Amino acid sequence: MPATDVAATMGYLARALKTPTIGRVWEQLATTARAEGWSHEEYLTAVLQRQVADREASGTSLRIAGAHFPAVKTLEDFNVDHQPTLRRDVLAHLAMMTWLPKAENVVLLGPPGVGKTHLGIALGIKACHAGYPVAFDTATGWAARLHAAHRDNRLEHELKRLRRYRLLIIDEVGYLPFDADTANLFFQLIAHRYEQGSVLVTSNMPFGRWGEIFADDIVAAAMIDRLVHHAEVLTLGGDSYRRSGRRELLKTQPTPGADN
Ligand code: ADP
Ligand code: MG
């Protein structure tokens, strides 16, 4: 076949297969293959590998965009030395994402500024890389969504729709207390996810005070039961990372008015 026909046919085939990377790289890789004496098998493998790598990368970025994380935070950026009581083996286990196919949960507890949201996002991003769809929102944001669905008589439908996300991240449970209706909607969300899909919850309140958040000790206890039945509960502690960062900065700056 003349080279121009090969190019046209390859262009057509790549479009028909919806493999744009193959359309882009086959010619250049063929040149490399000839120059380096690759076998046919090696050439074919190289072309397909490039296509798969591109598809995986674009899938990951679509999932990250679709999760609506409020910021980009990674596990690599998380300074574990600042959390001496946090078990590194547990964190390493969570980073492997084996808990998602088992519909297990993660609960991150601790005072403000200790990195709960950071870890939540970082695990969410890892999940996106591992191929799992994720949805992130604050507890207040989830409450608003559930209220809207309930008002329009499509709560059941919305809860089913959320099943497509293998991980729901509910950030900042407890910053604002919920009224009885909201607490009930939240309970339905957690009950619906139970053993079906993972939830990652962060809260500044220990479980003992969740009765205050949900306006009802019994609803809170029923929710905690379902949440922690298959879960890793991590309590972060220490000083706010924001504040300690500022202290470090102050240490290195001359104090105004002081004799330096
Ligand atoms: P929380 O959700 O517990 O209130 P955040 O996760 O929002 O705290 O953390 C506050 C800020 O400090 C964020 O910018 C976060 O990236 C950073 N931070 C907190 N803990 C750590 C840590 N151990 N290593 C690196 N950055 C951290
Ligand atoms: Mg937070």
Count of domains observed in the chain: 2
Ligand showing the shortest atom-to-Cα distance for residue 121: 1
**Cα torsion angle, 216, 219, 223, 226, sign:** positive
Q: Please name the residue whose Cα sits nearest to atom 18 of ligand 1.
A: 115
Does residue 156 share a domain with residue 94? Answer: yes
Asked whether residue 115 falls in the same domain as residue 186, the answer is yes
d(CA 75, CA 121): 9
Residue 78: CB within 6 Å of ligand 1? yes
Atom of ligand 1 nearest to the CA of 202: 2
Q: What is the pLDDT of residues 156-167, one digit of tens each?
A: 999 999 999 999
Strands (E) in 204-249, as ranges, are 231-235
Q: What is the pLDDT of residues 177-207, one digit of tens each?
A: 999 999 999 999 999 999 999 999 999 999 9
Distance between CA atoms of residues 7 and 211, nearest Å = 68
141 inside domain: yes
pLDDT score at 257:
43
Is the CB of 207 inside a 6 Å radius of any atom of ligand 1?
no
Shared-domain flag, residues 57 and 183: no
Residue 209 has pLDDT above 80, yes or no: yes
pLDDT single digits (tens) 239-258: 888 777 666 555 555 544 44
**Site of tokens 């744009």:** 20
**Domain residue limits at 12:** 3-67
Same-domain check for residues 166 and 206: yes
Same domain assignment for residues 111 and 234: yes
Residue 73 inside a domain? The answer is no
Same-domain status, 39 and 116? no
With the most atoms of ligand 1 within 8 angstroms of its CB, the residue from 118, 121, 175, 201 to mutate is: 118
Q: pLDDT, tens digit, for every residue of 107-142?
A: 999 999 999 999 999 999 999 999 999 999 999 999
Enter the DSSP assignment of 152: T
Calpha distance 130→61 (Å, rounded):
12
**How many whole angstroms separate alpha carbon 130 and alpha carbon 136?**
16
Same domain membership, residue 207 and residue 121: yes
73 lines ligand 1 (CB under 6 A): yes
Q: How much distance in Å is there from the Cα of 24 to the middle of ligand 1? A: 42
CA distance 41 to 33: 10
